């Protein structure tokens, strides 16, 4: 009597390679990356140019506390939205086309599939975030430097390296949150809307809420926590100040919880 052995499911390395192949072979991935590059670097350069032209009209207090790094990377906030969209698209497309059934048939270990997607999306988003931030920073400093009255910065400037790496971490974190929302909702529109709300809602609502709400609640939302990493010139007197270490820990916790919830729902639902 002969027995037929079931084919072994792919290992984690093969699954990661497969997820990378899927992500890079989709046209929308590169459209989103190109758009994120344009808004992150292009809008930052435009804002730096406008600031350089109007610097003499800034109030004296703003000139004293001028944040050259922040000005040169202001467009990164728009790029953050698009990288979050990338995180959603990395999973929502498979649900909408039914390809998730094939993915899980080849790799039945749903945790391995989710982990592989997270590794691919997280690493790509981190690298893009650092590259965008570096390009925006250096171009912005060149533009601001046209005006000799503006204090510009180099890589050795206070908080600059942390800010560049922090933008990579922030983009990776929001891409992973968006990826988790995509798994939870299995809807691109709903997941994108939720991700954008997580980015902007605390900042929009914060000024309208009591100080204790900002300090004890909004400060621990993902966007506020992420600012502790990506902002070069932190205001230690700000209501939402946590510090880079605490902010990084809070952001990591949000990502971990979102991925655990996504894994839990992925395991309970069918693959359709």
Q: Which of 11-15, 62-66, 226-230, 264-268 has the highest mean pLDDT?
A: 226-230
The mean predicted confidence, pLDDT, of the chain is 88
> How confident is the model over 129-142, as pLDDT tens digits?
999 999 999 999 99
> How confident is the model over 202-222, as pLDDT tens digits?
777 777 888 888 888 889 999
- Tell if the pTM clears 0.85, that is, is over it: yes
> How confident is the model over 4-37, as pLDDT tens digits?
444 556 678 888 888 898 889 889 999 999 999 9
User: For the chain, what's the residue count?
Assistant: 272
pLDDT at position 81 is: 93
């Amino acid at each position: 009597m002969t027995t037929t052995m079931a084919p072994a499911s792919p290992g984690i390395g093969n699954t990661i390679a497969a997820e990378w192949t899927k992500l890079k072979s989709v046209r929308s991935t590169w459209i989103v990356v190109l758009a994120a590059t344009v808004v992150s670097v292009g809008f930052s350069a435009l804002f730096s140019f406008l600031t350089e032209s109007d610097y003499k009209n800034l109030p004296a207090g703003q000139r004293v506390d001028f944040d050259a790094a922040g000005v040169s990377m202001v467009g990164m906030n728009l790029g953050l939205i698009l990288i979050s969209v990338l995180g959603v698209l990395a999973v929502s497309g498979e649900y909408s086309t039914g390809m998730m059934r094939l993915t899980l048939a080849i790799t039945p270990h749903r945790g391995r599939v989710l982990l592989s997607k997270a590794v691919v999306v997280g690493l790509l988003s981190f690298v893009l975030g650092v590259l965008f931030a570096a390009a925006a920073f250096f171009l912005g400093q060149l533009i601001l430097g046209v005006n000799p009255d503006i204090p510009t910065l180099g890589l050795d400037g206070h908080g600059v390296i942390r800010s560049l790496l922090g933008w990579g971490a922030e983009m990776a974190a929001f891409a992973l949150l968006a990826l988790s929302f995509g798994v939870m909702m299995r809807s691109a529109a709903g997941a994108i809307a939720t991700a954008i709300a997580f980015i902007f809602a605390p900042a929009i609502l914060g000024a309208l809420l009591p100080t204790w709400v900002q300090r004890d609640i909004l400060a621990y939302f993902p966007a506020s926590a992420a600012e502790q990493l990506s902002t070069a010139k932190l205001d230690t007197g700000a209501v939402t100040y946590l510090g880079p270490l605490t902010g990084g820990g809070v952001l990591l916790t949000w990502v971990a919880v979102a991925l655990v919830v996504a894994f839990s729902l992925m395991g309970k639902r069918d693959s359709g």
